[in-house]
Structure 1
Amino acid sequence: MLICLTASHKNAGFDMLERLSANAEHAAPRILDGHDALQGAIVVATCNRFEAYLDLEAPEGDSPVTAVHEAIRAVGSVAGLEPDELRTTFGFVHGNAVAGHLFAVASGLESVVVGEGEIAGQVRRSLERARTEGTTTPELERLFQHASQTSRRVKNETGIGGEGRSLVRLALDLAESRITDWATTRVLLVGTGRFAGASLAALRDRGVADVRVYSPSGRGTKFAAGHGIEAVARGDYAAVAASVDIIVTCTTAEHHVVDKALIAVGREELAASVIALPGSPAPEPAQVRQLVIDLGLPRNVAPDVVEVPGVELLDLETIKIHAPLEELGATDAARAIVHHDARAFGDTADERDLAPAVVALRRHVYDILDAEIERARARGDDGGETERALRHMAGVLLHTPMVRSRELARAGEQAAWIDGLEALFGVKPDEAAQAVRDRQATDAAEQSPRARQADAS
């Protein structure tokens, strides 16, 4: 059974998302230690969501609730959050609805900025991390592979991501009113992580030429060389941070990389040396106007930075408030693709539920066939004509049941096929019957008010 526990900008505050995201890389292994029924876990953690996709194997008659509660407790222990708080926050998606949810997430339909491009890569990297940690399963692999395929279809067949929309570009759109001339704007990029390249590309699209990069982890020189910009040394960081017009932070550091003290020290250094950026006079403190854009989660910028005169902070919570409305045409087309692909994923799973029954029927027919061929040979008919005729007839007789098995599986009526199999041939594959019962119980649960509410969130 596939289950998704989801906390996002739609149902959780950024403080909680920040704590969950900061410890995401440790969550999946801890989840699997919590309960024997938990076979696999993949965690997707971005700047506006934390989701745990679980592959759960519960014995017949056992409720998955205990295992799910253990998974939530494990996440809480990693992030330092109370299980009760998480239980009231997490949305709960399970069964066939999990595919539709993940496909929508990977396609950018559930992001703060609908159609953002970064999320597809984040979903892929989540799968790669799970492989490294050894927490994935064949069913989760199949789910995430299909999610990547769907996100590519949405990107190629709709206009939802055609303008390269992302948090970075939305943040710069919001900064537009504060910038007189992008060509003369000085920018410091802090970080070389997942958003750094996108941030640099978005800045260059607006005509920004003066961009420097600083990396708290020491990777700035390599990033700068690869992108044709200048790296800032650790000793120059404060002064440069105090002298630029915009600071964009997008590092994965778990501590604040910009705060009130940094800007204050930088301004003191500038005043003492009377040197700002090469070719520019040192600004008077009273005239300084700076915008700090914090794209990090955990937060890269301390809230006290706004106490420095002239400094304004644009963070994820502010960006969320100003996120644009969906473009209905492109979004509807994208959701149609997601729905189609999710249904196809579910159909395949339904057909796989019937696989043991199909194998049982074929075995039953071919056992009879082999017995009749042996009888023919015993009577002296060893020329092969009877065997060929019998094998052809068996293939013809099996054709219609095989077609009907797929049709009934896609209609959610696998039980009818299995019941017919038992009534006509006395074949009763217990494994197939149990798989059908499990899936139909899941489908029925998805129709509950709680499940619909969780899916809507």
Structure 2
Amino acid sequence: MLICLSASHKNSSFDVLEKLSVGANDTAGGILERHPTLVGAVVVATCNRFEAYLDLDEPLGSSPLMAVHAAIDGVSASTGVAVDVLRATLDLVHGSSVAEHLFAVTSGLESVVVGEGEIAGQVRRSLEQARLSRTTSPELERLFQRASQTSRGVKNRTGIGAAGRSLVRLALELAESRITDWAQIRVLLIGTGRYAGASLAALRDLGAEDVRVYSPSGRAHKFATSHQITAVAESGFAIEAAEADLILTCTTADTHVIDAALLRSGRALSLQLPAAEARTLPSCPITDAATEIPRRLIIDLGLPRNVDPDVTDLAGVELLDLETIRIHAPLEELNATSDARLLVGRAARKFSAVAEEQSLAPAVVALRSYIFDILDGEIERARNRGDNSEQTEAALRHLAGVLLHTPMVRSRELAREGEQAAFLTGLDALFDIQVELPAAGSAATIAEIGPAAS
């Protein structure tokens, strides 16, 4: 049975993700030492994600509760993150959902910047590390190899690579027609979370050099230090907002962080500064493409909105929000994510169907062995009676194949429907064949796990 314990930018703080990444290389081995039914582990750790993919060798109907708790203990021991923090943070993905989750992750659909290509290489290197550490398993090998194939298919068959530049880059592309020299503009980045790093990278790619960051939650200093930019304190926020040529907001705040009143007060405070501190506005005008009138541009990537639409009541202020950006975005880029998820879902269903069919393999082998043992006995008796003809043997083998055809087809159908028990019951009732299937824990038992369950 496959299980994934997942912490990412969607459900975990930067501090927790940072701690998890420190001990990631030793985590897989530590997990496997904790419980005998854990037979494989691959850990994917990036700056925005920590995931442990686990292979549990559990008999049919067994609860994986103890194994999952043991795995969490192993992660805690390797990374130093407290068990209670992990149980409150980690999402649990199980059964057939694991393949769809990993395929989506590898295709960049779960990344901070949707469609980014770096994650595919990181997932591939995670499998290579597991091989070196001897912590992988045949089922995890199949899962990760299929994930890489799916990622390549998604990139080749959709526009996800272009969409992967995301709304951040689409917005900046719209802004680019108004900006003559990115190196001269003053940028205020608001937020340090989901899109902040991607936004900063995109700004730097365009040549922006004077970038400052403000965080409503007080994380600006840490973000600024790690990215070598200037942090803006709460006391200077209004002035900085009024003096910036470009403001880009990407915070999860549920109230407006920029509105017309803030910009007015910031401008008034700016005018009261000593001449040595005041900034001559604008230093590098952002111009309207049609009129060449100097503008101040605000890009709002927040959902809910970070910027009150009343800012456009101020002279010279232009607002690009998600709705505006989507109107201007190429249609194929907006559809790319939906198309990619359809491909991922299809690949995951195919992966799960194969896995379900393989789950009855021991029972199918037992039935075939039973039939062919009888067949070999009958052929031997025919030979002892003096019937050594190849036609007789061929006829008997053909008959065995015909008799086995329907049970083989039904085994695949029942396995895909999750009705393995029906096939096993039939074998026992008709032929007195008892088979115990490995690695087939039920989804119902996952509910017992508690806080870590998704």
Fold similarity call, TM over 0.5 = yes
Q: Residue 363 of structure 1 aligns with which residue? A: 369
Question: Partners in 1 of 2:394 and 2:22 — Cα distance?
Answer: 66
Contact 1:21–1:298, Cα closer than 8 Å, also in 2: no
Letter in structure 1 aligned against 2:231 = V
What SS does the aligned partner of 1:105 have?
helix
Question: 1:290: how far off?
Answer: 4.6
Question: 1:385: how far off?
Answer: 1.8
Cα distance change on mapping 1:365 and 1:145 into 2, 3 Å: same
What SS does the aligned partner of 2:369 have?
helix
Q: Deviations over 1:21-74 (max 9, x none)?
A: 233223222222333332221111122211111122346776432332232223
What SS does the aligned partner of 2:389 have?
coil
Which residues in structure 2 correspond to 1:16-35 (within 5 Å)? Answer: 16-35=16-35
Contact 1:127–1:144, Cα closer than 8 Å, also in 2: yes
Q: Residue 36 of structure 2 aligns with which residue? A: 36
Q: Residue 156 of structure 1 aligns with which residue? A: 156
Question: Partners in 1 of 2:203 and 2:87 — Cα distance?
Answer: 40
Letter in structure 2 aligned against 1:354 = L
Cα distance change on mapping 1:124 and 1:171 into 2, 3 Å: farther
Asked if 1:389 is matched to 2:406, the reply is no
Question: Partners in 2 of 1:202 and 1:80 — Cα distance?
Answer: 34
Q: Residue 312 of structure 2 aligns with which residue? A: none
Asked if 1:306 is matched to 2:312, the reply is no
Question: 1:5: how far off?
Answer: 0.7
Which residues in structure 2 correspond to 1:20-419 (within 5 Å)? Answer: 20-58=20-58, 63-165=63-165, 180-182=180-182, 206=206, 246=209, 289-290=210-211, 301=226, 305-306=230-231, 318=250, 322=301, 329-419=335-425
Question: 1:127: how far off?
Answer: 0.9
What SS does the aligned partner of 2:162 have?
coil
Letter in structure 1 aligned against 2:109 = L
Question: Partners in 2 of 1:175 and 1:21 — Cα distance?
Answer: 36
Cα distance change on mapping 1:77 and 1:37 into 2, 3 Å: same
Cα distance change on mapping 1:174 and 1:28 into 2, 3 Å: farther
Contact 2:211–2:229, Cα closer than 8 Å, also in 1: no
Contact 1:18–1:298, Cα closer than 8 Å, also in 2: no
Cα distance change on mapping 1:379 and 1:128 into 2, 3 Å: same
What SS does the aligned partner of 2:108 have?
coil
Number of matched pairs: 354
Q: Residue 435 of structure 2 aligns with which residue? A: 430
Question: 1:114: how far off?
Answer: 2.0
What SS does the aligned partner of 2:50 have?
strand
Q: Residue 15 of structure 2 aligns with which residue? A: 15
Question: 1:145: how far off?
Answer: 0.7
Question: Partners in 1 of 2:77 and 2:390 — Cα distance?
Answer: 69
What SS does the aligned partner of 1:68 have?
helix
Question: 1:355: how far off?
Answer: 0.8
Cα distance change on mapping 1:42 and 1:174 into 2, 3 Å: farther
Query: Unaligned stretches of 5+ in structure 1?
Result: 186-197, 209-244, 247-288
Question: Partners in 2 of 1:30 and 1:62 — Cα distance?
Answer: 23
What SS does the aligned partner of 2:93 have?
strand
Question: Partners in 1 of 2:302 and 2:157 — Cα distance?
Answer: 23
Cα distance change on mapping 1:450 and 1:400 into 2, 3 Å: same
Question: Partners in 1 of 2:59 and 2:391 — Cα distance?
Answer: 49
After superposition, the CA RMSD in angstroms is 4.2
Contact 1:92–1:451, Cα closer than 8 Å, also in 2: no
What SS does the aligned partner of 2:4 have?
strand
Letter in structure 2 aligned against 1:306 = A
Contact 1:167–1:319, Cα closer than 8 Å, also in 2: no
What SS does the aligned partner of 2:136 have?
coil
What SS does the aligned partner of 1:108 have?
coil
The more displaced of 406-415 and 30-39 is 30-39
What SS does the aligned partner of 2:41 have?
strand
Query: Unaligned stretches of 5+ in structure 2?
Result: 186-197, 254-300, 304-321, 327-332
What SS does the aligned partner of 1:301 have?
helix
Cα distance change on mapping 1:55 and 1:370 into 2, 3 Å: same
Question: 1:173: how far off?
Answer: 6.5
Question: 1:349: how far off?
Answer: 1.4
Q: Residue 230 of structure 1 aligns with which residue? A: none
Cα distance change on mapping 1:419 and 1:35 into 2, 3 Å: closer
Letter in structure 2 aligned against 1:86 = L
Cα distance change on mapping 1:357 and 1:35 into 2, 3 Å: closer
Cα distance change on mapping 1:392 and 1:60 into 2, 3 Å: closer
Contact 2:87–2:452, Cα closer than 8 Å, also in 1: no
Letter in structure 2 aligned against 1:19 = K
Letter in structure 1 aligned against 2:406 = T
The more displaced of 84-93 and 320-329 is 320-329
Question: Partners in 2 of 1:291 and 1:25 — Cα distance?
Answer: 34
Question: Partners in 1 of 2:378 and 2:94 — Cα distance?
Answer: 47
What SS does the aligned partner of 1:430 have?
coil
Q: Residue 421 of structure 1 aligns with which residue? A: 427
Question: Partners in 1 of 2:213 and 2:178 — Cα distance?
Answer: 12
Identity %: 59
Letter in structure 1 aligned against 2:101 = H
Question: 1:382: how far off?
Answer: 1.4
Cα distance change on mapping 1:412 and 1:87 into 2, 3 Å: same
Q: Taking structure 1 as the reference length, what is the TM-score of the superposition? A: 0.65
